[in-house]
Structure 1
Amino acid sequence: MLRLLSLLHATAVAFPMLGAEIPLGERTKMSWDAPQNGDDGVDHFQLFLPRHWSKAQSWPMLIFLHGAGDGVWDVMNSQSLPRLLSRDQSTAFDPRKSWEFDFDGRHYVNASFADDLGFVVVMPQGWDATMRPGWSRPRLERVRALATRVASAYAVDPERISLAGQSAGGVGAWRFALEYPEFLSAVVPVCGALPGDSARAAQRLKDLSIWVFHAADDSAMPVELGDGAVAAMNRAGRREPARYTRYRRAPPPPDPQYNDMVGHASYDLAFRDASLYAWLANQRRGAS
């Protein structure tokens, strides 16, 4: 563990600072001058700028919160949205440049994902120096500060800032939305649990666009968590019902160390869904 922390610290100094020019159409590890409010993580992040990005127009932004087991770069980038945001989607356990798999009678592949996505994507590295997982309130405060800075530096439309999270990051997505509903145009919790009083949460979020993803066979986060959250949201007199994609089955995470988490990787299906990005691009803050 100490060796890993030393490696992370040693390599962090080489990361470009927020505001730097970075390659387009490729995720880049970056640093920023995070607020000095304790050892709360989010000292580093990854940033993706669309292949045709320029400051001549404003862009929608998507904030992505990783799961509890995904905080170290190589794990974070081995699955889900971060893996897709690279032209080279190979990993230590999968040498194929384009990540593809067969599941439930379908073939999943999207070799051009990084070329086609039209969002600025900010992916905070949430773990702190003690490697504690989870998205606490101080960390989410830093996520908001980071997103505000990224939006200013990279021509983001402040009316189109959405947030998605998976697993523990799905819990974090709900928490962020409850803390800062006015900051977001939409929230997308994937295989995560809604914390606290669901009726109170539903009232607070009734004007925010919501799309929940979960799988019926999720062995790590029971699907009843997704069912209950969506039911609570839709009892709150929303102008637009919360969307819900409830997969019959989902694969385990692609990293072999998590093979026992059957049904948990609904994120590997959700973030390949082109309709999700079309929907997010059409959301505006306060206009659900």
Structure 2
Amino acid sequence: MTMNRRQLLLTTPALAAPLLSACAAVPPTPPDGLAAGEQRPWALGGERMWVSLPPEYAQKRERWPLLVFLHGSGERGTDLEKVKVHGPPSWAAQGVNQQLIIVSPQLEDGAQWDPERLHQLLAALQARLHIDPERCLGTGLSLGGYGVWQWAYTYPRDLAAIAPVCGFGHPGKVAAMRSVPVRGYHGDQDTAVPLAPHIASIEALRAAGGTASLTIYPGVGHDSWTPAYRDPELIPWLLAQKRA
């Protein structure tokens, strides 16, 4: 009887372990359309996004942490360039030496961030990119700040931590994400998204046994994302997070 390679591995455990280990040890090759050390537009499962891979993506065997950035209402539409204006997708243009994969999807005009859609996007990304499933992170501003809170308490096992900027969650639902640390940011003069609901979300999460902090910028309005994404402690904090 002739056996193919798969049958041989299944019937010969002593051979399977070292061979499968050797395959896993090979550094990943970026998918078509992407390149290590560059931020490029990409389409996956009907979603349009920017993807930035670390410079050493194709050189290291270890899986990388993932940061998903959710933009605000002003960046919705079909012009993907607008998504790069603020936050993590702008880091690549600034030469920030990132040690994580950054994915920045774009919403259609009038759309809202939907936790189910984000859950499916995360699964698709994990299937295509060399991502550490224990170190998937979320951040977003304004509409995206609200979206990342929703995602975290709807699918708390998706994310290791979130960093919402001028957004807020539902205080009555955040107990579901008590295992997801939060590092929030908000301006105390924000009239577009008031500060009070964000404080209430943080306090409710703490009361439920979660870990949460909120940096409040005195005299800053809705544009709290500018100082927030320049916080020198943000990236180290993100890199230190791992799903409980």
Q: Percent identity?
A: 29
- 2:235 corresponds in structure 1 to 277
In 2: Cα distance, 1:215 partner to 1:170 partner: 13
1:31 aligns with: 43
TM-fit CA distance, 1:249: 3.1
Q: Deviations over 1:100-150 (max 9, x none)?
A: xxxxxxxxxxx431xx011101111121xxx213213xxx32322222222
Residue 142 of structure 1 is aligned with which of 84, 108, 117?
117
Q: Residue 179 of structure 1 is aligned with which of 147, 154, 164?
A: 154
- Partner of 2:104 in structure 1? 123
Residue 198 of structure 2 aligns to a residue whose secondary structure is helix
2:126 aligned with 1:151: yes
Q: Which residue identity is paired with 2:163?
A: V
Name which structure has the greater RCO, CA cutoff 8 Å, separation 6+: 1
Counterpart position of 1:206: 178
Matches within 5 A, 1:10-89: 19-34=31-46, 43-54=47-58, 56-71=61-76, 72-86=79-93
What is the match of residue 110 of structure 2? Answer: 132
- Rounded to whole Å, the distance in 1 between the matches of 2:54 and 2:236 is 15
Aligned-partner SS, 2:82 = helix
C-alpha distance in 2 between matches for 1:264 and 1:75 = 18
The CA distance in 2 between the partners of 1:229 and 1:210, in whole Å, is: 10
Partner of 1:247: 217
SS at match of 2:122: helix
Residue 237 of structure 1 corresponds to: 209
Deviation at 1:73, TM superposition (A): 2.0
- Match of 1:183, SS state, is coil
* Aligned equivalents of 1:179, 1:236: Cα separation in 2: 16
Displacement, 1:21? 4.9
Which structure 2 segments of 5+ residues have no match?
1-29
Corresponding residue of 1:105: none
Question: Residues 187-229 of structure 1, C-alpha deviation per residue, up to 9 Å, x if partnerless?
Answer: 111101213xx1x323211111111111111121111122111
Shift of 1:59: 0.7
TM-score, length of structure 1 as denominator length:
0.69
Distance (whole Å) between structure 2 residues aligned to residue 208 and residue 80 of structure 1:
21
Q: Which runs of 5+ in 1 are unaligned?
A: 1-17, 35-42, 87-110, 251-262
Q: Which protein shows a greater Rg?
A: 2
Runs of 4+ in 1 over 3 A off after TM superposition: none
For residues 171 and 181 of structure 1, the distance between their equivalents in structure 2, rounded to whole angstroms, comes to 15
Instruction: Give the C-alpha shift of residue 244 in structure 1.
Output: 1.2
The match for 1:92 is none
Q: Distance in 2 between matches of 1:112 and 1:27?
A: 11
Q: Deviations 1:26-52 (Å, cap 9, x if unpaired)?
A: 321111233xxxxxxxx2111110122
C-alpha distance in 1 between matches for 2:133 and 2:86: 28
- State the SS of the aligned residue for 1:118: coil
TM-score (ref. length: structure 2): 0.80
Residue aligning to 1:112:
95
- How big is the alpha-carbon RMSD for the aligned residues of Structure 1 and Structure 2? 1.8
**Is the contact between residue 69 and residue 133 of structure 1 (CA under 8 Å) also seen in structure 2?**
no
Q: Is the contact made by 1:164 and 1:189 (CA closer than 8 Å) also made in structure 2?
A: yes
Name the counterpart of 2:16: none
User: How many residues are paired up?
Assistant: 212
- In structure 2, the residue corresponding to 1:69 is in which secondary structure? helix
